[in-house]
Structure 1
Amino acid sequence: MAILMALDPFGDFGKVLDESIRQANNRHAPLTILAIAETFQDIQHDYAGLSGASEELFTQVRRKLDAAKLEAIKQGVTPTVLIETGPSPAQNILDCAEQQGADLIIMGHREKKGLDRFLLGSVAAKVIAHARCSVLVVR
């Protein structure tokens, strides 16, 4: 059994981390924590001033990942941590799950409102639809 936790660096990941640690401890399973520094390379112009923000974004994501790792260690789990970049967090999660041989993906769900819900879709919904292993979504 191998567990992959998908860390949302822009959301509150406390509940997802707690559940991931609980599952890893209960199953005596290795835990990998994956954070995605989402890029905007598929957008052709400077979208809301984000074109030069990639290094700052990566640093911010790294800080959240390091905080999650320290908390896991405090609770008795020494996770492997990974940071990936790309325009599609769902695809990054799915690819990492395959590469790591994950039997379980644990992730959060960020509620989208209005048209965003229908136009953009949910990372969690995409992962659930395409994962080859079980997916636990923590609300």
Structure 2
Amino acid sequence: MYDRILVPTDGSAETKQVVAHAAKLAEAHGAELHAIYVVNSATFASLPMETSWEGVTDMLQDEGESALEDVQKVASRYDVSLTTHLVEGAPNKEIVRYAEQEGFDLIVMGTHGRGGIDRLLLGSVAERVVRASTVPVLTVRVEKDEVTPKAEATEKAKGSS
């Protein structure tokens, strides 16, 4: 059913739960697992002009590489092949673009399940990906300090809204 699974990471501790879920799925289906970290280019806009762009770029890329190394550590516990990708742009747009261009069968993402004013103020990359993607998206609800992800998983089938 799944041959290529994409798991975006933001480097948070909670993402490790999502990676484990994606790796289990990849292992069960004999699928390739790919991890993507998007260096959020919008981060640059809020910096003072005197800030060294090169230094900021290096710092953000280092964070991304560290996050992808964490994914490798989690995925190594499973019998899966893992390929990592570091890209730059708006996270939700780059995740969708990458998944669609590279022919992925599934995107597995974490969500905090925020509602109300929190979601309005903070937004949700996962929600934007679900709305924009033609690739099915499986969301795994995670909570801070929670050891395992909640059993909530929502799949958006191709073409549904």
Q: Normalising by the residue count of structure 1, what TM-score does the alignment of the two structures yield?
A: 0.84
Q: Give the match for residue 42 of structure 2.
A: 40
SS in 1 for 2:76: helix
Q: Give the match for residue 95 of structure 2.
A: 93
Structure 2 regions of 5+ residues with no counterpart? 142-161
Tell me the matched-pair count.
Answer: 137
**Could you report, residue by residue, the CA deviation over 1:80-122 in whole angstroms, capped at 9, with x for unpaired residues?**
1001111x10001001101221111001114558755214521
Q: Give the match for residue 131 of structure 1.
A: 133
**Which of 1 and 2 has greater Rg?**
2
Q: CA–CA distance in 2 between the matches of 1:42 and 1:67?
A: 24
Q: Give the match for residue 73 of structure 1.
A: 76
What is the correspondence of 1:1-139 to structure 2 with a 5 Å cutoff? 1-40=3-42, 43=45, 46=48, 52-86=55-89, 88-110=90-112, 115=117, 117-139=119-141
Distance 1:71 1:112, change over 3 A: same
Q: What amino acid is aligned across from residue 66 of structure 1 in structure 2?
A: E
State the 1:21 CA deviation. 0.4
Q: What amino acid is aligned across from residue 104 of structure 1 in structure 2?
A: L
Preserved contact between residue 94 and residue 131 of structure 1 (Cα < 8 Å): yes
Q: What amino acid is aligned across from residue 87 of structure 2 in structure 1?
A: E
State the 1:70 CA deviation. 3.0
Q: CA–CA distance in 2 between the matches of 1:46 and 1:111?
A: 33
Q: CA–CA distance in 2 between the matches of 1:128 and 1:50?
A: 35
Structure 1 regions of 5+ residues with no counterpart? none
Distance 1:50 1:98, change over 3 A: farther
Preserved contact between residue 7 and residue 107 of structure 2 (Cα < 8 Å): yes
Distance 1:56 1:113, change over 3 A: farther
State the 1:12 CA deviation. 2.1
RMSD over aligned Cα, in angstroms?
A: 2.6
SS in 2 for 1:46: coil
Preserved contact between residue 8 and residue 108 of structure 1 (Cα < 8 Å): no
**Could you report, residue by residue, the CA deviation over 1:38-62 in whole angstroms, capped at 9, with x for unpaired residues?**
1226727529x79652211210220
Q: What amino acid is aligned across from residue 82 of structure 2 in structure 1?
A: P
Give the % identical residues.
28
Q: Normalising by the residue count of structure 2, what TM-score does the alignment of the two structures yield?
A: 0.73
Preserved contact between residue 3 and residue 30 of structure 1 (Cα < 8 Å): yes
